[in-house]
Chain A
Amino acid sequence: MNDKLKQQSNFFSETFSEEETKRLDRQLRLPGWNQKALKNSVVVIAGIGGLGTEIAKNMAMAGVGTLHLIDLDIIEYSNLNRQILFSDADEGEPKSKVAARALKKINPHSKYVWHYSNLEDVSPEIYATADLLIAGLDSVTARSELIRRAVHFQKPMIDGGTATYYGHVYTYFPGKNACLQCDPQTERERETLAACTLVGIPRKRSHCLLKGQLFFESKNNRPPDTSVKEEMIIVLDYANNLAKEHFSEQGLFTLDEVVKMVDQHDPTIITINAVIASLQSQEALKILHHVKGIKLGTINTDYVIYNGLVGKFFYIEKPPNKKCMLCGSNATIIEEVTIPETSTVDMLLSIIKNKDYKYDPECEPSFWLIDKKDPEDIELDKTLKEQSIRNFETLYVTGLLKNNEEIDLYIRLKLR
């Protein structure tokens, strides 16, 4: 028996302890499966909410070696209808931290690294060295942050999202299909208390509710409490008096509508959440084989929609957009520079000049650290270390010329 065949054994791999092999026994029997590939994998899960906890649980149980769990939130009671890793006792604690603790109990053989942070402040090295990024995010903005890292570091990213009884799964696979910026999405518009739009006669039926809320706030100098029925009734009565007067044909508001308007959150249910998270997880397991050169099935590059009200799936092809500013042919070039962290930015610029870039005489080059939440000015005569520039950090540079044409540039720094 040759060495290569021996290495492929799931049951006699030296990577696993006896206990771990026993625990994983049933999946080691899967055709085409390679447990070692999963054990050696590093996965970033961005957002540890409904989708993120479920995905993390699946990745941990499947034996993925290292999970980075990123979330900037703390646990609230309203998370407990669907967020599997949390319980009553954890209220107020960081989601990522509690998730890591719960996962360690579920499968102690893997490594869980928690980041109580936004996506930007996590070291760029984490994204650069991961095999796969998975999104369990709840905003378009956060998804844009993650997809830029996926495109720049050429990492597959599995996005998922839910809305009432529906959900979607979409895997960006570098070079194969559209990135999220090829087809930019806009944030859903919420009805908000913009006082200027609420002066005078309500133009929309929903404005009656907002006016009711405003009425309560003007009387009490605080927003109404959605858990106090009497307060909701005050808002309701005010809103319905207006509705009767101006929108009589459209009927009256209910108490539940008032609660949902005053405290606006996306409605979500565990079942839809679990379907979407499981689809993301199953794609993840295939991709983790794939990126290690092991063929297991085919990666679904379509945008998948699940409608839980009719129990049906829909598929949309997403070809890359050649004009995409992030991944298209006009996207900003990335130059990778390996440099000691004791070097100054001035020295860095000289390296860039060696790569056939010139300074634009009409404007000084300027730098931005685009991976940070609050970009800071970069000073030429300070070292990278002094300015806390991290490994794999990306600098955006303007004011350069190449072949006498103005050009903007990304410089990716590999520190040594």
Chain B
Amino acid sequence: MSEEFEELSIDEEEEVEEEIISKTPEKEKTPGGKKISVYFQSTIGPAPKQEKLVVATDAPVSDIKYTVSQIFGLPADEFHLSHAGRTCDSGDVLEDYGVEDGDTILLIPVSTAG
């Protein structure tokens, strides 16, 4: 399943670059907002995993978590997304955290038990 997705993400990425860099004028920006490529890297799970995915910067963190949980095969309530030392709150959107093209977002454990 993840391989399928990887192929899909590469297609999307090419499309987006064309759109933003050359052809599409600013006002006709896709309604979904700016798209960037981000590396998602798991610190949890039975095997380390990294996926390069194209994401919309105005997508809610909760939506991204939901999708990423399926791609990584990890329950969404078992991890937080973490960017540059900040934990992304489910109610925010990705751009609230200044995520830029090429950045890495970590899947970190919700380790609150003592």
Interface residues of A (CB under 8 A from B): 47, 49-52, 135-140, 143, 160-164, 166-168, 178, 183-189, 266, 268, 303, 305, 307, 309-310, 312, 314, 316-319, 321
Contact = CB atoms under 8 A, between A and B. Distances in A.
Interface string B36-58: 00000001111110000000000
A393 B80 CA distance: 35
A164 B113 CA distance: 9
Given A162-B114, A189-B77, A310 B47 contact: yes
A140 B111 CA distance: 10
Contacts of A178: 85
12 contacts: A49-B114, A138-B114, A161-B112, A163-B110, A164-B78, A167-B109, A168-B108, A168-B109, A185-B112, A188-B110, A310-B48, A317-B84
B50 to A, nearest CB: 12
B106 interface: yes
A307 B85 contact: no
Given A163-B78, A183-B85, A318-B85, A310 B114 contact: no
Contact of B113 (A138, A183, A312): A138
Main secondary structure of the interface of A (DSSP, over half): loop
B85 A317 contact: yes
Contacts of A163: 78, 109-113
Contact of A139 (B84, B109, B111, B112): B112
Contacts of A143: 112
Name the interface size band of chain B: 20 to 34
B89 A266 contact: no
Contact of B114 (A50, A164, A303, A319): A50
A305 B48 CA distance: 13
A20 to B, nearest CB: 31
Given A186-B90, A189-B77, A314-B43, A160 B114 contact: yes
Contact of A310 (B46, B77, B85, B106): B46
B109 A183 contact: no
Contacts of B43: 166, 305, 307, 314
Nearest to B82: A316
Given A166-B44, A310-B48, A316-B108, A161 B87 contact: no
A327 to B, nearest CB: 14
B27 interface: no
